[in-house]
Amino acid sequence: RFTVSNALCAASDPEIREQAAELLPLPVTVGKASLPPVSDLIKHRGDARKGISTFASVGTCAKCHKVQGKGHDIGPDLSEIGSKLSREAMYLAILDPSASISHNYEQYVVLLDSGIVESGLLVNDSDDSITLRNTEGVDRVIPRDDIESLEKSPLSLMPAGLQQNLTQQQLVDLVEYLLSLKKKL
C-alpha cells in the first residue's frame, strides 16, 4: 500500500496526485500532517545532531537498535547503516519497515497448544525448544512439545507508523543522523 501510495502521490499528473492523496494517503506525522512522497523527502537535508536526540527520545529507535554499543539489541545494529543504505532507502525502511526485513531479524509467530500466540525474533532454535525475543527484549524459551505451529511473519518486528510521533523535520534530522553513521576506515 505504501509503495503504491508513494508512487501515485509523486506522479507528474496533478489529477492522479489528488486522487491518490484522497484514496491512498501517505503516512502522517505528529498532528496528522501528511508527509510528501519520498522523492520529495530525499531533497531535504537535516541536522544530524538533532537527529541524535530524536533517535534516543521521541523516535524511540534506541529502544530496539544499538549505535556504537548504546541502545538495545532487538533490531539490527545501526552503527554503520549510513554505509549500507541510501537516503531514499533509509526513508523507505522507516516508513515501510515490512517492505525489506534484515536477515536474522524476521519476526516469527508461534501458536501454542494452549491457544496462546507468541511472536518475536527467533534467537535460538534447538531440537528441544526455541527462544523468541519480544519487542521489549525479553527472551522466552518455548518447549517444542508446546508448539502447534511456527511461522515466519511477513511483518517486521519494527512497527509501522513510528513517524506519527515525529514532525517532518524530526524525521529529516533522524535520517541525516542515520546517514552519518558510516563504517570506520
b/e 65-96 (16+ beta carbons within 10 angstroms → b): bbbeeebeebbbebbebbeebebeebbbbbbb
The model's pLDDT over 87-136, given as tens digits with 9 standing for 90+, comes to 999 999 999 999 999 888 999 999 999 999 999 999 999 999 999 999 88
Instruction: Read off the pLDDT of each residue in 10-31 and give the average, rounded to a whole number.
Output: 87
What pLDDT was estimated at residue 11?
86
Beta-bridged to residue 118, according to DSSP, are 110
Average pLDDT of the chain is 93
The model's pLDDT over 22-61, given as tens digits with 9 standing for 90+, comes to 888 888 999 888 899 999 999 999 999 999 999 999 999 9
What pLDDT was estimated at residue 182?
95
b/e 112-151 (16+ beta carbons within 10 angstroms → b): eeeeeebebbbbeeeeeebebbebeeeeeebeeeeeeebe
Indicate whether 175 pLDDT > 90. Answer: yes
pTM for this model (two decimals): 0.87
Residues near 32 by Cβ (< 8 Å), separated by ≥ 6? none
The model's pLDDT over 60-82, given as tens digits with 9 standing for 90+, comes to 999 999 999 999 989 999 999 99
